[in-house]
Each structure stands twice: as structure tokens, then as C-alpha cells.
Amino acid sequence: MSLWQFLESSQPLLKRCMELATVESNNKWIQKFGNKSEHFGKDEVSDTNTVNHQNDINDEAIPITNDPIEAMDIDEKPIFNPVRVKLERDDISREILDLEPITHFDYILEKCLENPNLYQILAEELPLNSIEKLFKHIYDTKNVNSTFLENFYTIFFPAFLKREPTRLSLDLLIKGKCYPLFHKHLLLIIFKDTELPSNILHDFVSTLNMNEQTEFLITLSHSDVPKEAFLYHLVTIHTAYKNSLKNNELQNYILAKLGHISENCATDKNYGRFLLNFLQSHKDYRTNITEIESIVETHRSAFKKPCLNILNEIKHVSKDK
């Protein structure tokens, strides 16, 4: 009995690939899947039908390449190709997953640059001890190819973090600051991806000093942060805000975001606690009073009364000035 089987929906694609392939004995498709007649039956792929089909191909002027998938019309290419993904993963299992990552690092780098899909496959399937060795080698090596580094931080790293979180995840995220530009981009990817556990970013931000937490918030303020992501990481942002160096730009940014999500957090205690800390810090700025008053009035958690008290203090001080 065959050990592999295609989905019913993939049969037309497989048939097309087999028809485009040559019938030489050393053809990789014939070796991998057998002759097309073995899969579709003699009646279905008769000589007459084959000739007619080849005529159709010539009429449509479809270029024949070494890759049967690439030989198809653009409109016919599937968004997700289970045949190709299976082949890629089989090849990776044979060629890379069992390799020692440091000894064969140059080979891994070369293959990843040739096919960016490999970053995610490696991140999902490499054993954790190999992942740790790979990260350490990249962090300790100077002059690593910049394209590889960019893809490593933006594709490999997020995919790896989606595996079960471990102490290793946090450790590698902290040490990743050795490439600050790529690391900053990674943090934005993590922040915007609500499929990642929120504690990953929270635990990381908790390890930062005051200047680093301030820089983290400034990075967010200069980026297009979705409302859903701000809500998802509300506790993390509050953690960074409490310890950050405040300035007028940062205050205005936090106020705008708190106002944007106020209706979603009318009874949320975490939001109320954040709003209270914001008001305590805003005593030194005393701006946007009307906007702040509207936010406080609509809030209904146990923190509303303390927020009203501080808001009144700010309003009185502003009148005295």
C-alpha cells in the first residue's frame, strides 16, 4: 500500500504536473509519484487525450520550465500548494534538520537565501537544542549576511516564538538586542501579532531599564499600531509607561490611544489602573483637559473615583495658573 495520498482537490494539479513532466526514467516526478497512468487510469489519460492536451498547451503558449508548478498560468497557480510544501518539508528533513547547525551554518544560510520558506519550516521543526545553537552562533558571529539576518528576525524568530513558550524564548529575545535595528523590527512584529501569547512581550519588557522602556514606547508611537494590538498588550504598555521617562509627545500618544479604546474598556480594571497612572503623570502637563474629562466620565471601573479626584486637582491647578 502506498504511504502517501493526495487530497481529492489536489488531483487536477497533480495530473497537470505529470502531463507537463517528461517520461524519462530519471525524471524526479516519475520517480517520486510514478507514471501518470498509475494514478488516473488508462481510460482517463489515453494517447488521444494526451495529444489533444499537448495541442492545447501549444495553443496557449505556456512556457515549459524545469518546475512543473512554474509552468502553469499565473491564474492557475494555487495560493497554497500542498504538493510543493510536502516536497520542501521532505527535502528539509533529509538535508538540514539533522545537520549540526554550527558546523553546517553556511550551508543552512545558503539554502535559506535560495528559498525563504525554509526559515519558517526550520523554526517549526528544528529541535530546541539545535535552535539554541543556531541562535548563539548568529549572535556571536560578525558580518552575517544582512538579508539572512532580516529574514531570520522577521520570519524565523516569530515562527519560533509561536511554539510552546519556554525560558529559552525569553533568553533568546533578550540576547537578540545585539542586532538593535532588526530587534526593534521584531518587537513591532510581535506586538502586532495577536496570535502570539501576550506574556512573551510582557516578560521581555519587564526586563528593560527605564531608557529601554521609554525607547520601546517611542517606537510604538512612531508606528501604525492597530487598536486590537494595543488592547491585547494593554498591561505590557502600562508596565513600560509606569517606568518610562515622560515627555509631552509620549503623553499625547498615550492619551490618544487610551481615548481610542475607552469604549472597549469602560469596566476594565487594567485600563482604569493605566488611566489613573496617566493622570498622576499628567499633573505636570495639564493639557487636553476636555478630552481627558470625557474619557474619565465614561469609565465605570473601581478606578473611576480616584481618576476623578486627580482630574479635579489638575483642573484647579490649571485655573490657578
Helix (H) or strand (E) holding 61: none
- pLDDT at position 59 is 42
Least confident of 26-30, 97-101, 194-198: 26-30
Task: Evaluate whether residue 65 is within a structural domain.
Answer: yes
**pLDDT tens, 145-174?**
999 999 999 999 999 999 987 889 999 999
Section 98-106 average pLDDT = 87
Q: List helix spans (H) across 96-166.
A: 105-114, 117-125, 128-140, 146-151, 157-161
How far is the C-alpha of 145 from the C-alpha of 147, rounded, in Å? 6
- The answer to whether position 88 is within a domain reads no
Q: Which one has a higher pLDDT value, 88 or 259? A: 259
The residue to which cell 509519484 is assigned: 33
Q: Does residue 138 fall inside a structural domain?
A: no
Q: How far is CA 79 from the centre of its chain?
A: 18
pLDDT in tens, 18-75: 665 545 555 554 555 555 444 444 444 444 444 444 444 444 443 433 333 333 343 3
- Report if residue 111 sits inside a domain: no
Q: Which three cell numbers stand for residue 62?
A: 505556456
Question: What is the count of structural domains for the chain?
Answer: 2
Angle of helix 167-175 relative to helix 128-140, nearest 10 degrees?
Answer: 10
- Regarding predicted confidence, which is higher, 21 or 80? 21
Residue 17 — pLDDT band, cuts 50, 70, 90?
low
Q: What is the pLDDT of residue 100?
A: 86
Contact partners, residue 32, CB within 8 Å, separation at least 6? 87
Separation of CA 118 from chain center: 15
Dist. CA 274–CA 295, nearest whole Å: 12
Where is the domain boundary, 14, 49, 79? 79
What pLDDT is attached to residue 151? Answer: 97
102 located within any domain: no
Find the mean pLDDT for residues 281-302. 93
Does residue 287 sit within a domain? yes
Residue 309 inside a domain? The answer is yes
Residue finishing a domain among 41, 62, 79: 79
Question: Would you state the pLDDT for residue 165?
Answer: 79
pLDDT band at 95 (very low <50, low <70, confident <90, very high): confident
Least confident interval from 69-83, 88-102, 193-207, 285-299: 69-83
Structural domain for 56, as ranges:
1-79
Q: 152 vs 60, 145, 182, CA distance in Å? A: 40, 10, 9
Q: Contact, 193 vs 226, CB < 8 A?
A: no
Where a domain ends, among 79, 98, 118? Answer: 79
Q: Is residue 64 in some structural domain?
A: yes
Average of per-residue pLDDT across 117-135 = 93
Residue matched to cell numbers 483642573: 315
| pLDDT above 90 as % of the chain | 61
Give the pLDDT confidence of 223-247 residue by residue, as tens digits.
999 999 999 999 999 999 999 999 9
Q: Which pLDDT score is estimated for 244?
A: 96
pLDDT for 284: 87
How high is the pLDDT of residue 130? 93
